[in-house]
């Protein structure tokens, strides 16, 4: 069973669109949650941590539903520069290792 | 903005050879990590290192792998006898130490070393 599951996409959206990505995780002991973005052949870059109450950073909003073991990322007013793969990442209680999903690819088109 | 650096950016080696990948973590960080990403696959955890010892490792991190902090700034990953399946991008990451037991020790990644084993 996959530990962190994401729809691989691609999501092709026009500039200015709102797009949402979802992610599910299998371990109920997971403690910390993050969204990273990864450009082609580059390193993962931290986009935002995901807090229990949900949090927003500019055009990006993250939500966590512990009961359903579900995390989401909403991007408003998509820019061309948002084109990337978005990685859902989970850290379990008492561990340092990050567990990555396979990523959801976003392509924003002019 | 401080960042993790890695050298070399690309390493080509023959099967059976030893390679050393180098990383300079962010200067005030105390936890260091290695991850790898095989082309087209997800990022996988290898090892974490704190206070000069391994704090956690994955099943991938077998006896052919070792890590070291040889001085105050570098953090290295050694692969003793490379195999074809070791070909991957290797990412170093670092995070601040969090002695309060809090969970959000955000990890910051270096640009990676692309290892090609022929």
DSSP per position, chain A: --SEEE----EEEETT--EEEEEEES-TTEEEEEEEEE-TTS-EEEEEEE-TT-EEETTEEEEEETTTTEEEEEE-S--GGG-EEEEEEEEETT---EEE---EEEEEE-
Averaged over A6-25, what is the pLDDT? 96
For B46, the closest chain A residue by CA position comes to A97
CA–CA distance, A5 with A104 (Å, rounded to integer): 10
The per-residue pLDDT for A106 is 97
Q: Which of A5, A43, A85 to mutate to test the interface with B (most CBs of B within 10 A)?
A: A43
Residue % of chain A over a pLDDT of 90: 84
For A44, the closest chain B residue by CA position comes to B109
pLDDT at A47 exceeding the cut of 70: yes
Q: Which of A41, A43, A102 lies nearest to residue B109, judging by beta carbons? A: A43
The per-residue pLDDT for A30 is 84
Contact A87 B31 (CB under 8 A): no
Question: Is the model more confident about A10 or about A29?
Answer: A10
Residue bearing tokens 């050298």 = B7
Q: Is the peptide bond before A97 cis (omega within 30 degrees of 0)?
A: no
Q: Where are the beta strands (DSSP E) in chain B?
A: 5-7, 10-13, 19-24, 31-37, 43-50, 53-57, 65-68, 75-79, 88-95, 108-109, 113-117
- The DSSP call for residue B86 is G
Q: Which of A44, A93, A96 lies nearest to residue B43, judging by beta carbons? A: A44
pLDDT at B101 exceeding the cut of 60: no
The per-residue pLDDT for B86 is 97
Please report the residues numbered 9 through 68 in chain B whose beta carbons come closer than 8 angstroms to any beta carbon of chain A: 31, 33, 35, 41-45, 48, 50, 55-56, 58
User: Any idea which of A2-16, B57-71, B90-104 has the lowest mean pLDDT?
Assistant: B90-104
pLDDT bracket for residue B98 (50, 70, 90): low
pLDDT bracket for residue B44 (50, 70, 90): very high
Q: Which of A31, A32, A101 lies nearest to residue B42, judging by beta carbons? A: A101
For A92, the closest chain B residue by CA position comes to B103
Query: What's the angle, vertex CA A71, arms to CA A67 and CA A77, rounded to 5?
Result: 140
Which positions in chain B touch A99 (Cβ < 8 Å)? Answer: 45
CA–CA distance, B103 with A51 (Å, rounded to integer): 11
Neighbouring residues of A58: CB distance < 8 A, sequence distance ≥ 6: none
How many interface pairs between A and B have CB atoms less than 8 angstroms apart?
Answer: 53
Query: What's the angle, vertex CA B37, arms to CA B16 and CA B105, rounded to 5?
Result: 120
What is the Cβ-side half-sphere exposure of residue B19, based on CA atoms within 13 angstroms? 24
Contact A43 B111 (CB under 8 A): yes
Q: Give per-residue pLDDT as tens, B2-18.
A: 899 999 999 999 999 99
The per-residue pLDDT for B43 is 98
For A54, B13, B44, B49, B66, the CA distances from B69, given in Å and listed in that order, are 38, 23, 21, 9, 11
pLDDT at A28 exceeding the cut of 80: yes
The CB-based long-range contact list for A59-66 (8 Å cut-off, 24+ gap) reads A60/A35, A62/A33, A62/A35, A64/A33
């Amino acid at each position: 069973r996959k530990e962190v599951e994401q729809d691989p996409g691609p999501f092709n959206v026009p500039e200015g669109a709102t797009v949402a990505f979802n992610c599910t995780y299998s371990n109920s002991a997971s403690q910390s949650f993050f969204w990273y973005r990864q450009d082609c052949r580059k390193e993962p870059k931290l986009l935002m941590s995901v807090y229990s109450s949900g949090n927003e950073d500019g055009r990006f909003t993250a939500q966590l539903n512990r009961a359903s073991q579900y995390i989401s990322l909403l991007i408003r007013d998509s820019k061309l520069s948002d084109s990337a793969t978005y990685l859902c990442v989970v850290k379990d209680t008492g561990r340092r290792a990050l567990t990555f999903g396979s990523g959801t690819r976003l392509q924003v088109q002019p | 903005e401080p960042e993790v650096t890695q050298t070399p950016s690309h390493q080509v080696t023959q099967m059976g050879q030893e390679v050393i990948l180098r990383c300079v973590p962010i200067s005030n960080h105390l936890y260091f990590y290695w991850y790898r990403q095989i082309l087209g696959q997800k990022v996988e955890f290898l090892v974490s290192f704190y206070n000069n010892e391994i704090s956690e490792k994955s099943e991938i991190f077998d006896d052919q792998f070792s890590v070291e902090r040889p001085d105050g700034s570098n953090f290295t990953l050694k692969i003793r006898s490379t195999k074809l399946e070791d070909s991957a991008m290797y990412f170093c990451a670092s995070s601040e130490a969090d002695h309060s037991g809090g969970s959000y020790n955000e990890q910051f990644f270096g640009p990676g070393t692309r290892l090609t084993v022929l």
